[in-house]
Structure 1
């Protein structure tokens, strides 16, 4: 009873949390398996950003409860944001769940599973569901382990060449629509030395690209480290990671527009390893709606940031988050969002229809926008995005892009990698090129994927 499958919903932070839980479990003697049908223990790492995300996880857990009737020893756990948000109330819908573990308790999962296993192996009754959603000081420092590949007892696979590195947990922004401060807690940063050491260890294992993660990543260390010569702690961290031999590319997510001071904008011109790709959440292009959302910037300031970044790197790639149908959003408000959305010429965007999240300031607002209006506005922005993305990828046809070879694609017949602008590429290559930066001539393009051929003689297999 030691085979574990972890299914992850939601953002890159959740992916990183799942990876850390997997590493801790494997160190305790558990096996991580890719096929959920082959596991003894199934953990759902959940998301609460939208109600639909919670309902999807609840539906999956409800389905898995039926498996417990056939396999009494099967263990089902719910981790992460939904567990934190709902706690023991989940048992009203899911009475057979064994574990409900919040966002500050991921590191306790191995111990709780050990206890469950010991009880079952001794033939003892399990008793009540384990529910642990308490806050814990220093919990941000526990997400530091990475799952090694090709270890004994694990499924074979190519070693990763890119990795997520958690640098901060929690959020103090209190955006009116967002449940994250409730599910992730107050803003807490990891020590800079620990982060640098983690990146150094990853480089020694062959990782070439790191993505620094935080709820508001650009707020990193603002209470813990001094600004030095006008350089914020986050940019100081970028400089430290940039100096690590073996790390060739640096990305980060998710920032806040207010974090893009002059020092961060300038970093894109002086730190060559910092990729020319920025995820810059917009949420709305209307100043009135931004104030209602408690977003401390204006449409004018947002556009200034975009223009400043493109001045440093003219070919900068941008992605964003936008919410349509926030309470009180009028046709004029949406027209302003649409105008700014078009002007910024995004390469990628996550467009969400506003959904009520209980416990947030916006949940009780009057003047809710009808669902059909939300859907119409959603489709308008998605159509603009598709045209922008297709135009941008089409411009790359015939050019040569630097690509980090990550491994085989899902078909297993080709290889895949990403450009500095975060575009996915598919091409033929020799397996020995995994982890290498290679020049790729782009031959054709879809909305989100580039297809090409290596230009180095004798290395395309």
Structure 2
């Protein structure tokens, strides 16, 4: 029998990338031949995101492209958008299968039963029914791997659909995570980025059990002892869950990199309240100060949302001034976009889209200046750089321990090595 081929496309976050990689390995183990998304394939799998409107639009465009290129191929949509709006996706012409959060890892079984020409089959469930934890990691580029250790979220931020798409907070066990890290080390991986939806909430059992059997601090201690992995990064951690003991541990560890990504979302306490965030700006400033006291060279990234309903010019100025005053290295700026069934829809006044876009641009400029300043502070230093395997126009890239990007002419012998490099 001829081998069937499959191609994947991922929208959204690092967690999605780790899950796509795992889905790809599942299907390769079932005898599928993996192909690039731009090639002809028998099955196309799109792993979606729903954090912004753009992700929804992108999904539709991708399906149309597949329809034009390979009308006989099967199209499978999974991920957050598939969980939140299965009927909407099923109505897109060309979609054959919609897999919600609880079904995506059963993709092989669903593909065995699929026939072309029927109306789209939807395998979704209520978000309450999503239990269990599926460990995932990405292995596209052996250098740096995203390892999923936690999923779901019990927070109720007023702008966010992720709890509706991914269910309750639940985690892998420390023993399992360590086993995965050892496997990755054996396959030559040098750096693991720990990912989850609410990473600091690590430790709730896979059945969504409310109790923390273990916690994130215990996890980092256990991973620090794994032989062969030289670097860990914490992808993103809520400021109220980033404890002093975690910061102190990272400061003293040779393996956990001096690099934190801490969502702020707004520098205005009024807006943080409206967003239902679980901290105020004073706590955030305190976290940054503690990190910088212990690790002056540490990179700190910040998520921030502009144009949230009721955000006045004064609120935005407060956010700008607060970020300007903080010793952080770069910003990820999101323009607020309305999401169905979120509490933020009840808030007014709505900020005009043109104002949202202008505020986004202002903060992106600030981010550029912050990164320039942070990089300049380390010019002339020698720091370890982990070089990655992709060649782009004769160049290769790598990151220092504290997340400064370095580009050098491609040299094969540098790939996947940590090399002392003068900045």
- The bucket for the TM-score relative to the shorter chain is over 0.9
CA contact (8 A) 1:407 1:417 kept: no
Shift of 1:282: 0.7
The answer to whether the 8 A contact 1:24-1:145 is kept is no
What 5-or-longer segments of structure 2 have no aligned partner? 205-209
2:338 matches 1:356: yes
Gaps of 5+ in 1: 120-124, 150-158, 228-232, 443-461
Partner of 2:142: 160
Q: 1:274 aligns with which of 256, 263, 267?
A: 256
What's the CA shift string for 1:14-41, capped at 9, x where partnerless? Answer: 1111101001010000111124222221
Distance 1:377 1:408 in 2: 34
Task: Give runs of aligned pairs for residues 179-328 of structure 1, distance below 5 A.
Answer: 179-222=161-204, 223-225=210-212, 233-328=215-310
Q: 1:35 to 1:324 in 2, by over 3 A?
A: closer
Distance 1:395 1:409, change over 3 A: farther
1:143 is the counterpart of 2:135: yes
Counterpart residue number, 2:97? 99
Aligned equivalent of 2:207: none
Shift of 1:394: 2.9
C-alpha RMSD of matched pairs (Å): 1.9
Q: CA deviation at 1:78?
A: 1.0
Name 2:76's counterpart in structure 1: 77
Q: Evaluate the alpha carbon distance shift between residue 336 and residue 205 of structure 1 in structure 2; reply closer, same or farther with a 3 A threshold.
A: same
Cα distance in 2 for residues equivalent to 1:221 and 1:294:
23
Using the TM superposition, give the Cα deviation of residue 126 of structure 1 relative to its aligned residue in structure 2, in angstroms.
4.9
Question: What's the offset of the Cα at 1:128?
Answer: 3.3
**Counterpart of 1:438?**
419
| Paired residue secondary structure (1:264) | helix
**CA–CA separation in structure 2 for the residues paired with 1:64 and 1:42:** 8
1:41/1:27 Cα in 2 relative to 1: closer, same or farther (>3 Å)?
same
SS for the counterpart of 2:318 is helix
Deviations 1:310-336 (A, max 9, x none): 111011111111111111111221111
Cα deviation for residue 137 of structure 1 reads: 5.3
Aligned to 1:28: 30
Pick closer, same or farther for the CA change 1:175–1:219 going to 2, 3 Å.
Answer: same
> Residue 263 and residue 276 in structure 1: after superposition, are their counterparts in 2 closer, same or farther (change >3 A)?
same
1:127 to 101, 114, 118: 118
Partner SS, residue 255 of structure 1: coil
1:226 Cα deviation (Å)?
5.2
Distance 1:225 1:89 in 2: 36
Aligned to 2:404: 423
SS of 1:275's partner is coil
TM-score normalised by the chain length of structure 2: 0.93
1:404 aligned partner? 386
Q: Secondary structure at the match of 2:332?
A: strand
Q: 1:182 to 1:138 in 2, by over 3 A?
A: closer
Q: What is aligned with 2:107? A: 109
Alignment size in residue pairs: 414
Task: Report the structure number with the largest CA radius of gyration.
Answer: 1
What TM-score results when the alignment is normalised by the length of structure 1?
A: 0.85
- Deviations along 1:268-308, one digit per CA (max 9) or x if unpaired, are 22222111111011100010110000001111111001001
Q: 2:387 aligned with 1:395, yes or no?
A: no
After superposition, the Cα gap between the structure-2 partners of 1:327 and 1:146, relative to the gap in structure 1 and judged at 3 Å, is: closer
Contact kept? 2:152, 2:168, Cα under 8 Å? yes
> What CA distance in whole angstroms lies between the structure 2 residues aligned with 1:268 and 1:102?
36
Residues 416 and 427 in structure 1, CA contact (< 8 A), matched pair in contact too: yes
Higher mean alpha-carbon deviation, 365-374 vs 428-437, is at 428-437
* Distance in 2 separating the partners of 1:14 and 1:89: 21
